[in-house]
Amino acid sequence: MGSVGIVTPQTFHFAEPLTLECNRTLPSFDLIVETYGTLNSDHSNAILICHALSGSHHAAGFYSSDDKKAGWWDNMIGPNKAIDTNQFFVVCVNNIGSCFGSTGPTTINPDSINTDSVNTDSTKKGHTPLPYGPDFPLITIKDWVKTQAMLSDRLDIKVWHAIVGGSMGGMQALQWAVDYPNRLKRCVVIACTPKLSAQNIAFNEVARQSILSDPDFKDGRYLQAGTYPRRGLILARMVGHITYLTDDAMKAKFGRDLKSGRFMYGYDVEFQVESYLRYQGERFSENFDANTYLLMTKALDYFDPTRDYPSESAELSPSKRSAQQSTLTEEKIAKSSVSSWAESSEAIGHNTDSEYDTATTSMNDDQDYSHHELTALKAAFAHTQCQYLVVSFTTDWRFAPERSQEIVNALMATGKPVSYINVDAPHGHDSFLFDIPRYMGAVKGFLTAPFITDSRQATGERS
């Protein structure tokens, strides 16, 4: 299996204003895009690739003959690979808000060129064009999908053969199926979740605070100040990177190995895992923008495909809303506590009725919340028309298999054609980036299998 070879990004300019979910408007915007393979005569073989938080449009191939670093999903995309460029025309777009060329915090804010809109004496003197920086509006997954649909129109692709994404890319694929049900035939959702748990939002908040509290952040105007919140971005990436790996993987790779073979009794790097995390943070800080990191993590937090599809369930009570913020681990603890408290009460004769009642209420709230979530997802997916492949990984604790199964359960409950595979892999959340034969085979088989055209399934009825 070979590479797509040398690739060249393209810039698509959209002169029309773009109104975002936050009710702010971009007067115009650019999207940076890479394509691989050839679009057939009826434009029916196109596959859209949606990138994750730190990804870009460069999903496959190389930029020059001496380029050593291939695109971030090069093992997935190429001749005879899972996404076969001999058969498909593959499009990968860099989302707005990113720092890899599409309109975002590092690109020029047109308001800084308009002399009527300048706000500072320094700009008045020279009318120097300034980057958006912190003035770039908050964006959502729905905003990205909206711009991708506009790109589809520009490419004259009426219906995508498939839309594929891992992690945050999977969220975009799901949102596509909900927002534009007539414009995709297949949806591949990998290492994803129907929405972030409280724990995941907490990780993102720690990462954001690492950046915001860096003295060099300068309220987001570090480019104008000639500084860069490097330490904050390094810390943010270190926190994120820990969640992408597993304890077993870190144990196997690093253990408690010391870099110098002995304790140094200080705060410099001593353990190999410390060295690895610092290296990853340093490398990331050299290539990524801090304002972009803030925007991307907020877009993750906001993602919820059910927001526009209120379920038939009544509004959750305060206790149920509290349960909504619980992670899967907390739910299991609450449920197991019921039996353990009951057993200890019977064994030692202590009066723990109040504790038992509290635990029972918590368990009931969890069950009610699960039912509420299933009902909401069913409402969101009811009108979708594509067929789905959902992929999870056994060691992914950031977006655990149970979260993928929530998606699968909702799709099955609405009679949608869905295939699901839980892949045994040691790499944690990052598994979706690895060349795992069972995983790659599942994606390839799904993309090349005949499309299910049973009208009963298309309308959400069970066969």
Neighbours of 344 (CB within 10 A): 13
Token pair for 119: 């706000």
Give the separation between CA 404 and CA 400, rounded to whole angstroms.
7
Torsion of CA 438, 444, 447, 448, to 10 degrees: -120
Long-range contacts, 411-416 (Cβ 8 Å, 24+): 411/381, 413/374, 413/378, 414/378, 414/381, 414/382, 414/460, 415/456, 415/457, 415/459, 415/460, 415/461, 415/462, 415/463, 416/381, 416/384, 416/387, 416/388, 416/457, 416/460
Query: Which of 74, 366, 396, 430 is the catalytic position?
Result: 396
Identify the CA nearest to 305 among candidates 204, 214, 381.
381
Burial 104-137 (b: 16+ CB within 10 A, else e): bbbbebebbeeeeebeeeebeeeeeebbbbbbbb
Query: Which of 57, 58, 161, 429 is the catalytic position?
Result: 429
Task: Tell me the torsion sign for CA atoms 428, 442, 47, 79.
Answer: positive
Told to judge if 167 belongs to the known catalytic residues of this protein, a careful annotator would answer yes
Told to judge if 84 belongs to the known catalytic residues of this protein, a careful annotator would answer no
Give the separation between CA 341 and CA 348, rounded to whole angstroms.
11
Query: Which of 56, 152, 167, 210 is the catalytic position?
Result: 167
Give the separation between CA 394 and CA 248, rounded to whole angstroms.
12
Told to judge if 392 belongs to the known catalytic residues of this protein, a careful annotator would answer no
Q: Would you say 291 and 361 are in contact if contact means Cβ atoms under 8 Å apart?
A: no
Long-range contacts, 227-231 (Cβ 8 Å, 24+): 228/285, 228/290, 229/290, 230/285
Token pair for 283: 């490398």
Give the separation between CA 372 and CA 353, rounded to whole angstroms.
28
Tell me the H-state helices in 127-193. Answer: 141-154, 168-179
357 three-class SS: helix
Side by side, the strands of the sheet bearing 186-190 are 10-14, 29-36, 89-94, 46-50, 162-166, 186-190, 387-393, 418-423
Angstrom CA distances, 292 to 47, 138, 295, 308, 449, stand at: 26, 10, 5, 26, 38
> What H or E segment, with its residue span, contains residue 44?
none
Residues belonging to the active site = 167, 396, 429
